[in-house]
C-alpha cells in the first residue's frame, strides 16, 4: 500500500479536508436513512467551498420526530436523488481527503452504512470537531455546534439542523482548531488521548489510509441534486415566521442564559405565530439537544447540566419540556 495515503505522520494543518453533515430519518444507521447530505472542502489557507448539498429520498416516510428536528418533510424529498444515485460522487469527494464532522460518530455511522449499501466499502479516516477541543485543551469539548462556534469565535450556522449550514459552520470550527493545533500530527492525537485517559472511535480511524480514488468518477454537476430550498437553480425561499423565530431563539440561547431584554424580544416575535407553531419551535430545539446528548448511548454530567439550563430558558419562553 502506498504510504502517500497514510496520514499518521502528517500534520493536521497540511492535509485536505472534507467537512460533512447529514440529516436522517432517525438514530439507527442500520434501519434509518440519510435525508440530507452536505460536503464542504477545506484546506488551511483557503476558504471552504461547498461541493455537495442535496436532499436525499430515503425511500420511506420521514417520522414526525425526525421532521421536528430538521424540518424536512416527505414532500421536500420528492424528486430528490436516492443515495445510490450519488454514492460514487460521494466516494470521489472522499478520495485523498480526511473527513471532519461535528459529532462524527453519528454522521460517519450513517455515511458508511449508505456507502456499504452501494457496494463501496473502505475505512474512512476522520476527526470529530466535537471531541477535538478537549484534546487540544481548547475547552471541555462535547459542545453542540452552535456553542462550539461561540466558544471558538467561528461563524455560527444561520439555520439549525440544515446540513449545508452545519457543514459550513463545522468547517469554521475546524479552522479555529487547526490554528490551535500548530504542527501537531495525526499520530500524536491518540497519544494525547491516552495521557488524558480519553478515547473516541475517531482516533482508531486515523490508522486507516485515505479513501482510494474511484474508477467511476462522477461529479455533483452530473447528478439530479435537489437542495433543501430552491432546488434546480431556483431562488431560495425566504425564511418563514417560524424559521425566523427558531433562528432568533437559537441565537439568544447561545450562552444558555436568557436576559430580560432577549426574553422580551422573543415574546414579541411569538405574537406573529400561532401558539402551536411557537411550541413546535421549542420542541424542535429541546428534542435536538436531547438527541445530540444521547447519540453516544449515555449522558455525561455536564450534558445533563446544559439540558437543565436549556430547560430553564425554554420555560421562560412559555414551554415546559417533557421529559
Q: List the domain range (segments joined by +) for residue 296.
A: 241-316
Asked if 282 and 140 sit in the same domain, the reply is no
pTM above 0.85, yes or no: no
Asked if 215 and 275 sit in the same domain, the reply is no
Residue 3 pLDDT > 70, yes or no? no
Residue 236 lies in a domain: no
Average pLDDT over residues 278-304: 78
Asked if 186 and 287 sit in the same domain, the reply is no
Q: pLDDT (tens digit, 9 = 90+) per residue, 177-186?
A: 999 999 999 9
Residue 36 lies in a domain: yes
Residue 228 lies in a domain: no
Residue 138 lies in a domain: yes
Asked if 174 and 42 sit in the same domain, the reply is yes
Residue 177 lies in a domain: yes
What is the distance between the alpha carbons of residues 175 and 166, in angstroms, rounded to a whole number?
A: 14
| 158 or 2, which is more confident | 158
Asked if 198 and 253 sit in the same domain, the reply is no
Q: Specify the CATH number for the domain of residue 14.
A: 3.30.420.10
* Number of domains within the chain: 2
Q: What mean pLDDT, rounded, does the chain reach?
A: 87
- Percent of the chain past pLDDT 70, that is, above it, reads 90
**Burial state string for 17-54 with b = 16 or more CB within 10 A and e = fewer than 16:** bbbbbbbbbbeebeebbbbbbbbbbbebeeebeebbbb
Domain boundary among 189, 222, 255: 222
Domain boundary among 222, 249, 283: 222
Residue 235 has what pLDDT? Answer: 44
Amino acid at each position: 500500500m502506498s504510504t502517500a495515503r497514510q496520514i499518521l505522520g502528517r500534520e493536521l494543518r497540511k492535509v485536505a479536508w472534507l467537512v460533512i453533515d447529514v440529516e436522517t430519518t432517525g438514530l439507527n444507521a442500520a434501519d434509518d436513512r440519510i435525508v440530507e447530505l452536505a460536503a464542504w472542502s477545506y484546506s488551511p489557507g483557503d476558504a471552504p467551498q461547498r461541493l455537495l448539498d442535496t436532499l436525499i429520498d430515503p425511500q420511506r416516510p420521514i417520522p414526525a420526530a425526525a421532521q421536528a428536528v430538521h424540518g424536512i418533510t416527505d414532500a421536500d424529498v420528492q424528486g430528490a436523488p436516492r443515495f445510490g444515485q450519488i454514492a460514487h460522487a460521494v466516494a470521489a469527494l472522499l478520495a485523498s481527503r480526511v473527513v471532519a464532522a461535528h459529532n462524527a460518530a453519528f454522521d460517519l455511522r450513517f455515511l458508511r452504512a449508505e456507502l456499504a449499501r452501494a457496494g463501496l466499502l473502505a475505512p474512512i479516516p476522520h476527526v470529530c470537531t466535537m471531541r477535538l477541543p478537549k484534546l487540544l485543551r481548547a475547552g471541555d469539548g462535547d459542545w453542540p455546534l452552535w456553542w462550539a462556534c461561540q466558544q471558538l469565535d467561528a461563524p455560527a450556522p444561520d439555520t439549525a439542523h440544515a446540513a449545508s449550514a452545519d457543514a459550513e459552520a463545522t468547517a469554521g470550527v475546524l479552522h479555529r482548531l487547526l490554528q490551535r493545533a500548530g504542527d501537531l500530527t495525526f499520530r500524536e492525537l491518540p497519544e494525547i488521548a491516552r495521557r488524558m485517559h480519553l478515547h473516541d472511535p475517531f482516533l482508531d480511524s486515523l490508522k486507516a489510509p485515505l479513501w482510494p480514488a474511484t474508477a467511476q468518477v462522477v461529479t455533483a454537476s452530473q447528478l439530479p441534486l435537489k437542495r433543501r430550498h430552491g432546488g434546480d437553480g431556483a431562488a431560495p425561499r425566504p425564511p418563514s415566521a417560524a424559521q425566523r423565530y427558531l433562528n432568533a431563539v437559537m441565537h439568544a440561547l447561545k450562552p444558555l442564559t436568557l436576559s430580560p431584554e432577549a426574553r422580551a424580544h422573543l415574546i414579541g416575535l411569538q405574537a406573529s405565530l400561532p401558539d402551536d407553531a411557537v411550541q413546535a419551535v421549542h420542541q424542535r430545539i429541546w428534542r435536538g439537544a436531547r438527541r445530540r446528548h444521547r447519540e453516544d448511548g449515555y449522558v455525561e454530567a455536564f450534558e445533563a447540566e446544559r439540558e437543565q439550563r436549556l430547560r430553564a430558558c425554554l420555560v421562560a419562553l412559555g414551554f415546559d419540556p417533557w421529559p
